[in-house]
Amino acid sequence: MANSYLKSESKKLATWYFTVAATLFGAQLLFGLVAAIQYVMPGFLFEILDFSVARMLHINALVVWMVFAMFGSVYWLLPDETGIETVGIGMGKLLFWVFTAAVTVVVLVYLFIQVGPADETSIWFIHEGREYIEAPRWADLGITVVALGFVANLFMTGMKGNRSGIVTVLMADMIAFAGLYLTGMFYTDNISVDQFWWWWVIHLWVEATWEVFVGAIAAYGLITMIGAHRKVVEMWLWIEVSMLFGSGILGLGHHYFWIGTPEYWWEIGALFSALEPLPLVAMFIHVLYDWGKMQGEEDAKGQEISVITNKPAFTWFVLNAFGNFLGAGIWGFFHTLPQVNLYTHGTQFTSAHGHLAFFGAYATILVGMMYLAVQGKNGIKVLNNTKSTVWATSMIVGGVVGMTVALTIAGYSDVIISRAQMGATWAGYFDAQGTTWLVQGMVWRLLMGVVTFVGFLFLAKDLLSIGKATHHVR
Amino acid sequence: MVDGVLMSQDILVDDFLTIFVSSTLVLIFGGFYVGIYTAIKVNLLKKWMMPLGYFFWILTAYCLYLMGSLMHVNELTAKALVVAAIGLLLLPHAVYYMQDHVHQENEH
């Protein structure tokens, strides 16, 4: 992974993280495809790789590749923002290998052992049974050590170097990120209480700490790619942080509707869920405004050249602004008010929202960061698109949007039959599963999943080869 | 658990499609309003298109009203939805004001 253009050890470490992240992204899509096939053909890989295991690998790989890419993004931007090399880089490298080894062992256990004896041994060595964060306890402890080491590196570097607004926000955000993971690590006998704390990780991660992280990365990207004014970008970053923490933390209430928590959570969850799209709208305006303003200044000078120094990365950053608004905003809003969530909770609507929100809000910007790393690694001033860039972007975005539409149609059938007409009974569930709309929706989801996976292959090829193309400005 | 506080009435089966479509349109029309407003402010669109932007906000507010009515939301949630609609109307103005102000401070 050594490269003559990368002088910074922190940036070299970032490329390691991005490499593992991209690999896990591929694994996520592959196991998603297996699960999608099993929905249509239930006998596929029966007793070899069952649906429960394929799904577990699909959603855990999603979380883990994003965490890898987030750590990589921070290690990438730290030398630029602080003006110094990351402190404790040796420890950073050691923790990278610990993290990668732990994830590899956990995946092998999921694949080859799969099910434990349902006692303490399972929790410690197989998996904990909590969606998205199913790592066994030994790996949980390892992940905590890795996260704390990462936060220590971030803090030591931030305190020693030039502490920009972006770094300050990241320092606060990553403490919350690491701390919240602990809430999903202890067990209680009561499943409602267990779900309550489990949501602290998942919701407060994605709708508070991850969204704030996206704001910080978007700020760094705008400064790097279009030369946006730091003061403007950082001013807006602080506003987004306050809005996201406000709506994100109290919006957590919309996950509490049906698990036996006090009823005031209905009111709080409904109110702040309705307000959650507002910071996303603001982020959307922010990106468009800054790009329009910078391009307008260049045009006024009579320059016809684009202000964008990394076209693929900027495309993914803009997709993030739209995707965040669509996936988290629109697909989130239309089923989070309790009046309608009573009917939509846990149906294919949730799946539609989950697919578009994770992709739109996080995958897009993290892929954009990978392109920024490719640019830096190859010493390129202006990185242009290739045919593979266009194919990768179009097929991944088209595939995910297609999956979302298919799941939304399936979800509508699910809601009407299994909830509204049949009253959330088992008979209603099975009747809904057999309807033409739901079955065809699942077939279309599979086809769109194939499109997404082919798009990923183009993306992998592009990330590995784009630096060698000759049409960039060096 | 499920008492009359928020779930004052069941949603009619025939109303589900309208609810989902109208709630989706709330944000799609809202997106058009915000997009047109922003594009005009950064000179990507002509100023005379601004009424079109506000027309999309009116459509947004109507869809919000339709969605809330069919969902039979209680009084508090209805107020929250009105606040959200007004918030969406004001948000681009506030963002533009702040962005422009800081830009000018840094350029002159």
Contacts of B13 in chain A (CB under 8 A): 416, 420-421
Output A270 or A404, whichever has higher pLDDT.
Answer: A404
**Residue B105 pLDDT > 80:** no
Q: In angstroms, rounded to a whole number, what is the distance separating the alpha carbons of residues B39 and A383?
A: 26
How big is the CA angle at A135 (ends A131 and A137), to the nearest 5 degrees?
A: 125
A236 in contact with B at a CB cutoff of 8 Å? yes
Residue A282 has pLDDT above 70, yes or no: yes
Which amino acid is located at A250 in the chain? L
Q: Sort out which chain B residues have CB atoms less than 8 A from A229's CB and list them.
A: 102-103, 106-107
Mean pLDDT calculated for residue range A21-27: 97
pLDDT bin (cut points 50, 70, 90) of residue B41 is confident
Q: What is the DSSP letter of A282?
A: H
Interior CA angle at A334 toward A317 and B24, to 5°? 70
CA nearest to A278 within chain B? B88
CA distance B49 to chain A (A): 17
Q: Is the pLDDT of residue A111 over 50?
A: yes
Q: How confident is the model at residue A137 (pLDDT cuts 50, 70, 90)?
A: very high
Q: pLDDT category, A447, cuts 50, 70, 90?
A: very high
* Rounded mean pLDDT, A432-440: 93
Does pLDDT of A75 surpass 50? yes
Lowest average pLDDT, out of A188-202, A258-272, A446-460, B10-24, goes to A258-272
**What pLDDT, on the 0 to 100 scale, is given for residue A254?**
86
For residue A293, pLDDT over 80 is answered with no
- Quickly state the pLDDT bin for A29 (edges 50, 70, 90): very high
Q: What is the mean pLDDT of residues A18-44?
A: 96
| Closest CA of chain A from B108, distance in Å | 13
Q: Is the pLDDT of residue B47 over 60?
A: yes
The alpha carbon of residue B82 is apart from the nearest alpha carbon of chain A, in Å, by: 10
Mean pLDDT for A306-319 is 91
Q: How much is the mean pLDDT over chain A?
A: 90
Q: What is the pLDDT of residue A153?
A: 95
> What's the whole-number mean pLDDT along residues B16-31?
85
pLDDT of residue B7: 60
Which runs of E-coded beta strand occur in A242-374? Answer: none
Query: What confidence score (pLDDT) does residue B31 get?
Result: 82
Categorize the per-residue pLDDT at B8 as very low, low, confident or very high, splitting at 50, 70 and 90.
Answer: low
What ranges do the domains of chain A cover? 1-163
Q: Residue A93 — pLDDT band, cuts 50, 70, 90? A: very high
Q: How far is CA A171 from the centre of its chain?
A: 19
Mean pLDDT calculated for residue range A361-385? 94
Residue A409's alpha-carbon distances to A179, A236, A349, A437, A472, in angstroms, are 38, 37, 8, 7, 43
| Residue among A205, A404, A200, A382 nearest A307 (CA) | A382
Between chains, do A339 and B27 touch, taking CB under 8 Å as contact?
no
Highest mean pLDDT among A41-50, A323-332, B70-79: A41-50
Is the predicted pLDDT of residue A1 greater than 70, yes or no? no
Q: How is residue A376 written in tokens?
A: 């830096």
* Cα distances (Å, whole numbers) of residue A369 to A11, A21, A64, A70, A320: 12, 11, 16, 9, 12
Higher pLDDT, residue A185 or A374: A374
Q: Is the pLDDT of residue A3 over 60?
A: no
For residue A180, pLDDT over 50 is answered with yes
Tell whether A405 lies on the interface with B, counting CB pairs under 8 A: no
Q: Tell me, what amino acid is at A219? A: A
Distance of CA A245 to the CA centre of its chain: 18
CB pairs under 8 A between A and B: 130
Q: Rounded to whole angstroms, how far apart are CA atoms B108 and B101? A: 11
The fraction of chain A above a pLDDT of 70, given in percent, is 98
Tokens 């029309």 label which residue?
A: B29
Digit-coded pLDDT (tens) for A238-255: 887 887 777 788 888 888
What is the nearest CA distance from B58 to chain A, expressed in angstroms? 17
Q: What is the pLDDT of residues A374-431, one digit of tens each?
A: 999 999 999 999 999 999 999 999 999 999 999 999 999 999 999 988 888 999 999 9
Is A163 in a helix, a strand, or coil? coil
Residue extents of the structural domains in chain B: 13-107
| ipTM over 0.90 threshold | no
Among the partner residues A284, A338, A412, nearest to B34 by beta-carbon distance: A284
Residue A107: pLDDT above 90? Answer: yes
pTM for this entry: 0.91
Q: How confident is the model at residue B1 (pLDDT cuts 50, 70, 90)?
A: very low
pLDDT of residue A471: 83
Helices (H), A359-421: 364-377, 387-414
Point out the least confidently predicted range of A104-113, A212-221, B22-31: B22-31
Averaged pLDDT, A345-356: 92
Which of B77, B104, B105, B106 to mutate: most A Cβ within 10 Å?
Answer: B77
Closest to B3 measured CA to CA, from A193, A199, A419, A262 = A262
Predicted pLDDT at B2? 46
Residue A298 pLDDT level (bands cut at 50, 70, 90): confident
More confident residue, A86 or A130: A86
Whether residue B89 contacts residue B57, with contact meaning beta carbons closer than 8 Å, is answered with yes
Between A453 and A474, the more confident residue is A453
Q: Residue B21: pLDDT above 50?
A: yes
Q: What is the pLDDT of residues B71-82, one digit of tens each?
A: 888 887 788 788
Question: Which candidate, A351, A364, A359, places its Cα nearest to that of A445?
Answer: A351
